[in-house]
């Protein structure tokens, strides 16, 4: 069959005009959807102020998103928030001067920003007082949050009072106690229903995503203290909608899951138990999030990886490995976790330490494996001068190394991962206090060849190497483990 596309001129013109109209409407709708949001801040009570907006969640948390300056002439600051950062909760920071000769003083206000242009009238000196700042009359998100907070406080206080009484009452067999549980359950159920209703009623607003984190799960008041804790953990995830990807833009999600981990932390008595319990906490939370939105699932993996990395919980990091092969897991840490796992499998006792180039005592370039030393061991210390944990370890390690026997047995190579000009200056000031060490600054910081070779993702990291064979003897987490391993090797 032959299809004839040769339409009459009038029909062609009509089709063409219709196409233009459709294209215009489509572009207009797309533009509106992707439109940036403006925040106009009208200042009073100060002569000038720097106004900065910082994100509170996500990869750029606590980094300035927008910044401007207002003085006594303009009294107005205007900020533009990119659509990609919305919706979310932000910190609006004022560094203000009350008088022209005053030193700038900081003040911060938390605000919600969604899809609505905002105008705010505020006195920075009292920015968190309800009578010292207001939005335009039709503002939605922050107004709703204030109304919810007031009502929620009244409703929740009754439940918390009853809960405190039941948890501390010493006669769990009395009729009075049983009646208290019945009344508590009634009020808990009514409160949770109210929360769910509020979330449904205001689902069009971003702030409604924060309501669910007030949900009160079941608590088994009967039983021992341990049984009560187990009951809280078993029911902790009730009321949370993991299918809603916008919850990762809230600050409440991180606080809520941190509180969950801290419950496990309350049961910890040893480091080994900590590693085991925190790994269980991570596995349980990730599996719950896995049934929800891929972004929430990925966020949960990111959260626990960051925690495991900070405390060097090896069992926890190993627990994350299966999730890397799950394409529905939208973790931002896939490469970092893979690198860490590879390092854990590669940098083991008895393996050859990766080689790299250093300068010898005369300034000539030489391979680390060939570096001449009379010491029995070489210790690699990856650190950064702006890292508090690093500085604490360096202080202890240097004091210990000053003892003559320790100087003879071990030569220390300090590898700085400082990258910015400020960090490098801090490192140069610090190494002046550390005579007797071999100081090396790795070009590229955490992305340097040396850091990549040793799979270093965070600092500090220590690697003990046999000076003759260049084989790894230990990867100690702290001074205690280093000394213990050295004593063990000496006694062999």
Can you tell me the distance from the alpha carbon of 135 to that of 140, in angstroms, rounded to the nearest whole number? 9
Q: What are the tens digits of pLDDT across the range 40-61?
A: 999 999 999 999 999 998 878 8
Last residue of a domain, one of 86, 115, 139: 139
pLDDT at residue number 6: 39
Same domain, 83 and 196: no
Same domain, 186 and 76: no
**For residue 264, which of 277, 273, 279 has the smallest C-alpha distance?**
277
- pTM comes to 0.80
Same domain, 276 and 231: yes
Domain span holding position 405: 357-491
CATH number of the domain within which 385 lies: 3.40.30.10
**Is 44 among the domain residues?**
yes
Same domain, 374 and 482: yes
The token pair that represents 113 in the structure block: 């920003």
Alpha helical stretches, state H, 169-251: 175-201, 225-234
352 has which bridge partners?
Answer: 471
Same domain, 271 and 247: yes
Can you tell me the distance from the alpha carbon of 180 to that of 167, in angstroms, rounded to the nearest whole number? 11
Query: Which residues neighbour 183 within 8 Å (Cβ) at sequence distance 6 or greater?
Result: 162
Show the beta-strand stretches assigned E in 391-471. Answer: 410-416, 438-441, 461-466
Q: What Rg do the C-alpha atoms of the chain give, in angstroms?
A: 30
pLDDT at residue number 31: 42
Q: Three-state DSSP class for 202?
A: coil
Same domain, 396 and 436: yes
Longest dimension (CA), the chain: 100
**Is 23 among the domain residues?**
no
Could you give the percent of the chain with pLDDT greater than 90? 68
Domain count, the chain: 3
- pLDDT confidence band for 9 (50 / 70 / 90): very low
Looking at every residue in the chain, the average pLDDT score rounds to 89
Same domain, 373 and 425: yes
pLDDT at residue number 17: 45
Same domain, 120 and 220: no
* φ, ψ dihedrals at 39, nearest 5°: -125, 115
Same domain, 319 and 181: yes
Same domain, 188 and 263: yes
Can you tell me the distance from the alpha carbon of 284 to that of 278, in angstroms, rounded to the nearest whole number? 10
- Tokens 């300068």 belong to 359
Same domain, 41 and 75: yes
Q: What are the tens digits of pLDDT across the range 200-259?
A: 999 999 999 999 999 999 988 887 888 889 999 999 999 999 999 999 999 999 999 999
CATH number of the domain within which 131 lies: 2.60.40.180
Residue 281 has pLDDT above 90, yes or no: yes
Show the beta-strand stretches assigned E in 75-184. Answer: 76-81, 88-97, 105-113, 118-122, 133-135
Residue 2 has pLDDT above 80, yes or no: no
- pLDDT confidence band for 30 (50 / 70 / 90): very low
pLDDT at residue number 21: 52
Q: What are the tens digits of pLDDT across the range 283-297?
A: 999 999 999 999 999
Query: Which residues neighbour 246 within 8 Å (Cβ) at sequence distance 6 or greater?
Result: 87, 206, 209
The token pair that represents 404 in the structure block: 């003559």
């Amino acid at each position: 069959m032959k299809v004839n596309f040769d339409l009459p001129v009038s029909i062609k013109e009509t089709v063409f005009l219709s196409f233009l109209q459709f294209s215009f409407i489509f572009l207009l709708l797309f533009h509106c959807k992707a439109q940036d949001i403006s925040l106009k801040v009208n200042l009073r009570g100060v002569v000038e102020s720097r106004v900065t907006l910082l994100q509170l969640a996500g990869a750029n948390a606590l980094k300035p998103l927008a910044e401007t300056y207002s003085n006594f002439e303009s009294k107005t600051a205007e900020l533009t928030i990119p659509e990609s950062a919305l919706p979310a909760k932000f910190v609006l920071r004022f560094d203000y001067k009350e008088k022209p000769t005053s030193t700038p003083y900081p003040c911060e206000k938390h605000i919600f920003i969604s899809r609505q242009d905002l105008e705010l009238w505020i006195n920075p000196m009292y920015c968190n007082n309800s009578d010292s700042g207001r939005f335009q009359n039709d503002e939605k998100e922050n107004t709703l949050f204030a109304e919810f907070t007031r009502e929620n406080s009244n409703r929740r206080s009754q439940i918390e009072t009853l809960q405190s009484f039941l948890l501390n009452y010493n006669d769990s067999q009395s009729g009075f106690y049983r009646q208290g549980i019945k009344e508590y359950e009634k009020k808990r159920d009514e409160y949770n229903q109210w929360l769910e209703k509020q979330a449904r009623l205001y689902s069009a607003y971003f702030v409604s995503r924060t309501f669910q984190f007030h949900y009160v799960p079941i608590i088994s008041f009967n039983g021992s203290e341990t049984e009560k804790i187990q009951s809280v953990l078993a029911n902790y995830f009730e009321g949370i909608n993991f299918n809603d990807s916008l919850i990762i833009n809230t600050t409440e999600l991180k606080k809520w899951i941190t509180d969950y981990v801290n419950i496990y932390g309350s049961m910890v008595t040893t480091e080994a138990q900590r590693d085991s319990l925190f790994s269980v906490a991570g596995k349980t939370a990730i599996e719950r999030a896995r049934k929800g939105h891929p972004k929430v699932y990925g966020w949960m993996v990111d959260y626990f990886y960051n925690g495991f990395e900070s405390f060097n919980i090896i069992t926890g990091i190993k627990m994350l490995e299966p999730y890397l092969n799950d394409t529905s897991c939208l973790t931002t840490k896939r490469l970092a976790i893979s690198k860490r796992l590879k390092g854990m499998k590669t940098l083991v006792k008895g393996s050859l330490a990766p080689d790299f180039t250093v300068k010898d005592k005369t300034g000539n370039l030489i391979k680390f494996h060939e570096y001449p030393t009379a010491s029995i061991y070489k210790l690699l210390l990856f650190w950064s001068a702006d890292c508090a944990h690093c500085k604490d370890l360096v202080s202890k390690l240097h004091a210990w190394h000053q003892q003559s026997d320790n100087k003879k047995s071990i030569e220390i190579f300090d590898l700085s991962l400082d990258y910015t000009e400020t960090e490098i200056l801090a490192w140069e000031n610090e190494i002046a206090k550390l005579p007797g060490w071999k100081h090396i600054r790795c070009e590229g910081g955490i992305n340097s060849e040396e850091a990549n070779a040793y799979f270093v993702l965070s600092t500090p990291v220590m690697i003990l190497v046999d000076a003759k064979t260049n084989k790894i003897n230990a990867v100690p987490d702290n001074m205690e483990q280093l000394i213990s391993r050295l004593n063990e090797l000496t006694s062999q």
